[in-house]
Each structure stands twice: as C-alpha cells, then as structure tokens.
C-alpha cells in the first residue's frame, strides 16, 4: 500500500456527487491502462471520500446510489478507470518519459526498414517522433501509443512491423546446452536433430531483434553456429 505522502487523488463526478480515492500515481496509471495491478496495493487508504484533502468520507447512501455497492475496492476500480487522476507536473513528466522509452523500445524491437530489411536504431525512431510532433499521452496504453506513433512516423521514415524466420544449425559440441535458449528466443517453427548430434531449427523472431538473436547464437556456440535469414 502506498503512503499518504506519495499518493495523489483520483476523482470521479457522478450522480450529482464527487468521489475520491488516494492512489499511487504509477500504479493507478498502469491499472487504468489494463495492466495486471491489484487495486488494494495502489490505494493509500481503503476509503472513498467526498473530499480526500479534508478526510470527508462519502456516505453509504451516495455510494449505493452511484455504484450500487459499498465495496471500496470495486468502487476504487471504477474511479481510477473512469475518473481523473491528478498528477503533479513532475509525476506527469516522469510517466510520459517512461512511456516514451517503452514505445521506442517496442517499435525498435518489432519494426524494420522495408527498403533494407534492417532494424531502425532507437535514436532514429526518437528523431522521427520529434519531427512528427508525437505527443505521448500518459492516459493511453503503450500499445495504443505504439499504433499512434507508427501512423505518425510512417510518412517520415520507411518502417513496418515484421517477423523474420532464421534458420540455425548448432554444432554437436554446443547443441545440447544451446538449442533450448535459441529455440525459445522467438517462435520455433520447426526443428530436427541430426545424426551427428547437431541441431537445426527455424526460429521466427521480431525483425528488430535480428542482431540480438545472432549475438545469442554466436555466444552460445562460440561463433561456430550457422545462420541463414529465410524469405517468407
């Protein structure tokens, strides 16, 4: 449970009354966006207020009229999802920057330049976001912001989401220990053990993770594995 000093107010006006709960700002934003967050862990107090700053609790009559229940956790869930979360300027800035980093990371991981078939560096994606004046909305989910960002930057840089298939052959000396980590890096399409003890597999991965995948294969096989990018 968050402390009162760290909490902010989530407020919902409905049925002619105001209802407030005190919440952890980061947890409340995550909960609002659909992340798996337990409501009781982001409340500073298991109470519903008509004025949290004065400590005035809502009456049971008002709660029943507005929410048809007096269950604090159920009511808090609705207030957080539908109401206004009052972030400080510093909290809002921190949440926006964190979400921007997540958006850039997801795009860099999953997208490529279709003209070259290679990933876009995160710095290039960030520059395109700045040029396109992408506004990161702290109330939207990362997935929503990825879709908004992709639509905004496509006119500026050639980019699309894509998965690629990579064939891998790991020599017998490394296959028993290496194949599991290689196979689970992405989606294993097919595999086969050879008579000599080597392992051959085809792994489907986000296009932007090709360099990381090749580095993993090389590390596990000390550079002796063979890889080949397959056309789909």
Q: Give me the pLDDT at residue 36, please.
A: 87
Helix (H) or strand (E) holding 168: strand 163-170
CATH architecture of 163-230: 2-Layer Sandwich (3.30)
Q: What is the pLDDT of residue 33?
A: 83
Q: Where in the chain is the domain with CATH 3.30.1250.10?
A: 8-85
- CATH 3.30.70.240 residue ranges for the chain: 163-230
Phi, psi of 74 (to 5 degrees): -65, -40
CA quadruple 65, 69, 74, 75: dihedral sign: positive
CATH 1.10.390.10 is held by the domain 89-160: no
Pick the range with the lowest mean pLDDT from 51-60, 68-77, 97-106, 223-232: 223-232
Mean pLDDT for 137-161 is 92
pLDDT digits (tens, 9 = 90+) for 175-224: 999 999 999 999 999 999 999 999 999 999 988 888 889 999 999 999 99
pLDDT tens sequence across 2-24: 778 788 999 999 999 999 999 99
> Structure tokens of 39?
């409501």
Q: How far apart are the C-alpha atoms of 174 and 67, rounded to whole Å? A: 61
Q: Which pTM was predicted?
A: 0.65
Give me the CATH code for the 8-85 domain, please. Answer: 3.30.1250.10
SS3 of residue 129 by DSSP: helix
Cα–Cα distance between 227 and 173 in angstroms, integer? Answer: 17
Q: What is the DSSP letter of 112?
A: E
């Amino acid at each position: 449970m968050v402390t009162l000093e760290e909490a902010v107010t989530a407020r919902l006006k409905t049925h002619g009354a105001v209802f407030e709960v005190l919440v952890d700002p980061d947890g409340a934003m995550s909960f609002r966006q659909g992340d798996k967050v337990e409501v009781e862990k982001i409340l500073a107090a298991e109470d519903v207020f008509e004025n949290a700053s004065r400590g005035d609790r809502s009456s049971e009559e008002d709660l029943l009229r507005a929410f048809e229940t007096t269950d604090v956790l159920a009511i808090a869930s609705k207030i957080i999802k539908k109401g206004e979360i009052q972030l400080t300027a510093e909290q809002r800035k921190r949440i926006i920057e964190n979400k921007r980093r997540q958006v850039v990371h997801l795009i860099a991981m999953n997208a490529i330049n279709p003209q070259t078939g290679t990933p876009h560096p995160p710095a290039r994606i960030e520059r395109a976001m700045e040029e396109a004046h992408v506004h990161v909305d702290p109330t939207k989910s990362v997935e929503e912001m990825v879709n908004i960002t992709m639509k905004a930057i496509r006119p500026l840089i050639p980019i699309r989401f894509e998965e690629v298939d990579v064939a891998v052959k790991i020599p017998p000396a490394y296959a028993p220990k290496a194949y599991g980590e290689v196979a689970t890096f992405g989606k294993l399409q097919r595999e086969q053990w050879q008579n000599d003890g080597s392992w051959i597999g085809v792994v489907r991965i986000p296009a932007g993770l090709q360099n990381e995948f090749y580095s993993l294969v090389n590390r596990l096989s000390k550079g002796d594995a063979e890889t080949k990018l397959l056309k789909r």
